[in-house]
Amino acid sequence: MADVHSKETRSYNMSMIRGKNTKPEIMVRKYLFSKGFRYRLNAKELPGKPDIVLPKYKTVIFVNGCFWHGHEACSGFVLPKSNTEWWENKINRTKERDVKSQELLKEAGWNVIVIWDCQLKKDKRDETLFGLSNCAIVVLFNCNFFIMY
């Protein structure tokens, strides 16, 4: 059967699905850069491959999609009506992986920040980003402001 999507559309869709260079993450990167933070991206050697690493502050940042990472009590997380059980299992596995990676990172002395896509929506963006820079500089340890499960 012929694929209805053009090659371009398909690779765009795939990049969205893989979650690399999605818009919310770029927003966070641009903000951090403008504030003088220097970072590394997609640190493959670290548990959970954090999206952004601030080596100077021993801080890692995950920018999580509310759906894929199962953000509880969030309007961005609604299980699909078909294959519900399959999705639920899939997302639960992702959540378990997230918790495990964060534990490993903390044990290794990393400050872990999780930002949800919904915290970067227009009405919340400024507050979130402002909080983020404070979080990375001032509160090097136990910065739980962004860990909202």
Q: Is 116 near Zn ion (CB under 5 A)?
A: yes
- Considering only the stretches 9-17, 20-28, 83-91, 113-121, report the one whose residues sit in contact with Zn ion under the rule CB under 5 A: 113-121
Nearest Cα residue to 27 out of 145, 117, 148: 117
Q: Which stretch binds Zn ion (CB under 5 A): 31-39, 40-48, 81-89, 116-124?
A: 116-124
Q: Which is nearer to Zn ion, 23 or 56 (CB)?
A: 23
Beta-strand relationship, 40-41 and 52-54: antiparallel
| Footprint (CB under 5 A) of Zn ion, residues 88-107 | none
Closest separation between CB of residue 45 and Zn ion, Å? 28
Instruction: Print the binding letters for residues 30-69 with Zn ion: x by CB under 5 A, - otherwise.
Output: ------------------------------------x---
Smallest distance from Zn ion to CB 59, Å: 21
Per CB under 5 A, does 148 bind Zn ion?
no
Does 118 participate in binding Zn ion (rule CB under 5 A)?
yes
Report the side by side order of strands in the sheet with 59-64.
Answer: 40-41, 52-54, 59-64, 111-116
Q: Does 74 interact with Zn ion (rule: CB under 5 A)?
A: yes
In angstroms, what is the minimal distance from the CB of 109 to Zn ion? Answer: 28
Q: Are 97 and 49 in contact (CB under 8 A)?
A: no
Using rule CB under 5 A, residue 76 touches Zn ion: yes
